[in-house]
Amino acid sequence: MMNFHIESESCRSRKLKLDRALTSTFHPPALLPFRLYFPPHLVSSTYLSMSNIHTINPNAGDELPIQNPWTTKEAEQAKTGRGQSVSGKTGKAPWDRPTNTESVHTPPRNSGFHQAQHLAQSRIQDPFWSDNTPINREQTVPEIMANWSGFGCCVGPCCSPTRKADWRRFFFSFTFIMTAIQTIVFIVECIVGGIHWPSLGPSMHALILLGAKETTRIKCKFQIFRFITPVLLHAGIFHFLFNMFFQYRVMLYREMKWGHGKTIAIYLFSALSATILSCVMSPTTVSVGASGALLGIYGGYVVCIAQDWNKMPNMVKGMHIMNVGSYLLFMLIWSFSSSGIDFGAHLGGFCGGLLISLSFLCQTKILRIIGLVGYLLLTVLPLGLFLFVLPPKC
């Protein structure tokens, strides 16, 4: 931290005038980030004591020189030699010195500016929520845990302009809209079918009534909407909470990278392929849940990792391998260890999302064609097998 001392009373009053002038009339591009991270009195004191200072650009991580501003009356008096300058002495003001490269003041490496720069580079930040804490101090353990676990919205002032912009972006995202619809549908499920043990959710009759995957109604009554509507339904409270947390943690960040349109397309195409493979691999069961569509989003995440693989350092590669491998291993063990898990939907959603993501996310034309053809083979062939070969017979 850099401290500046001003002794005279007249200099303190002029410092306040200069600070008001800075905040109301003069806003150079590099001044605003500086004022965000340091108190106003430190800014004005810095301008009074130095001809050129350095501050930290939070976007680029480098240092930018700030030229000292001119005020109207006092600066003119200082230039002409009349009156008293802001520094308390008669004559030219401190900022009226040459501003060539030889006179630019560079703070020492152990100064407060470089310490703040080091803190900014070592901070753990949530991928979606903006960093809403002062950059010139270390993060606390609760702040690190919140940013690491995906709850950066809980860090810092909740009503700051930065956080309000984050909330507006979140409320207009497809992730939030889909989560809100699924929450309303789950409440309707519990009202219609009651809450039953051990799933703590509605009855199977209520799920079938509201649009669950049921092969007889799809094949014999042509209720093709049941290829998509299972993504809105959940069998119980724990099933619902697990899928919504995974949807928030994975799909929100992918939507920020891909955009709304690609995220919606990958989500819905993955839900379709998940239901089709579920009809083929489990034709006699009733299934619901958004896990197939979410695994399709995860398949798109794998495509993004493969695209940027050669650009990543080895440590980042290892982190991605651990992340993807641990989750897929968990889903594989969970799918086979429980009789109530629809493995066909999980497999169809992941493979369908991976293939359709090649068409939407890859820049190479041949990969787009491979992804589209692969997705058509994955869905059309099992669909024909389900309609013309497998039970039930209509």
Catalytic residues: 291, 346
By CB atoms closer than 10 A (0-12, 13-18, 19+), residue 108 is: exposed
Looking at residue 68, the DSSP 8-state letter turns out to be P
By CB atoms closer than 10 A (0-12, 13-18, 19+), residue 180 is: exposed
Angle at 19 between CA 11 and CA 69, to 5 degrees: 90
Q: Residue 280 in contact with residue 344, Cβ under 8 Å? A: yes
| Residues in a beta bridge with 90 | 84
Q: Are strands 63-67 and 52-56 parallel, antiparallel or unpaired?
A: antiparallel
> Distance between CA 389 and CA 382 in Å, rounded?
10
Letter string b/e over residues 262-272, b meaning 16 or more CB atoms within 10 A of that residue's CB: bbeebbebbbb
* 287: helix, strand or coil: strand
* The one-letter amino acid at 39: P
CA gyration radius, the chain: 30
Other C-beta atoms closer than 10 Å to the C-beta of 60 total 8
Chain-centroid distance of CA 108 in Å reads 36
Query: Which of 126, 49, 131 is CA-nearest to residue 95?
Result: 49
Query: Which of 149, 129, 159, 124 is CA-nearest to residue 139?
Result: 124
* Greatest alpha-carbon span in the chain: 102
> Distance between CA 130 and CA 304 in Å, rounded?
23
Q: Residue 42 in contact with residue 18, Cβ under 8 Å? A: no
Residue whose pair of structure tokens reads 């809980």 in the numeric block: 154
Residue whose pair of structure tokens reads 């991976």 in the numeric block: 354
- Write out the DSSP string of 223-264: -GGGGTGGGG--SSHHHHHHHHHHIIIIIHHHHHHH-HHHHH
